[in-house]
Amino acid sequence: MSKPKTTIDLVGDEWKLSVDEICARYGTNATTGLTTSQSKLNRKQYGKNEYKDKNAPKKSKEEKEKEKQLKEQQKLAKKAAKGEKKEEKKKDDVKKMDEHYGTISVLRDGQVAPMSSKKLVVGDIVELAAGQEVPADVRIIVSNGLQVDPSAVTAGSPKTMGINSTNDNPMETDNLAFFHSKVVAGSGRGVVIAVGKSTKSAQLQKSAKLVQ
- Write the DSSP assignment of 137-173 as a string of letters: EEEEEEEEEEEEE-TTTT----EE--SS---SSTTT-
In this predicted structure, which of 8-12, 26-30, 117-121 has the lowest mean pLDDT? Answer: 8-12
Provide the whole-model pTM: 0.74
Q: Check whether 181 has a pLDDT greater than 70.
A: yes
CA dihedral in degrees (109, 110, 112, 115; nearest 10)?
A: 10
How far is the C-alpha of 138 from the C-alpha of 125, rounded, in Å? 9
DSSP one-letter code for 181: -
Q: Check whether 100 has a pLDDT greater than 90.
A: no
Burial class for 129, CB neighbours closer than 10 Å (0-12, 13-18, 19+): middle
pLDDT-derived band at 55 (thresholds 50, 70, 90) equals: low
How far is the C-alpha of 45 from the C-alpha of 26, rounded, in Å? 10
Element (H, E) at 42: helix 36-46
DSSP E strand stretches across 20-67:
none
pLDDT-derived band at 155 (thresholds 50, 70, 90) equals: confident
pLDDT tens column, 35-52: 999 999 999 999 999 876
Check residue 84 and give its pLDDT.
Answer: 58
Check residue 73 and give its pLDDT.
Answer: 78
Check whether domain 19-51+106-210 has CATH 2.70.150.10, yes or no: yes
Check residue 54 and give its pLDDT.
Answer: 54
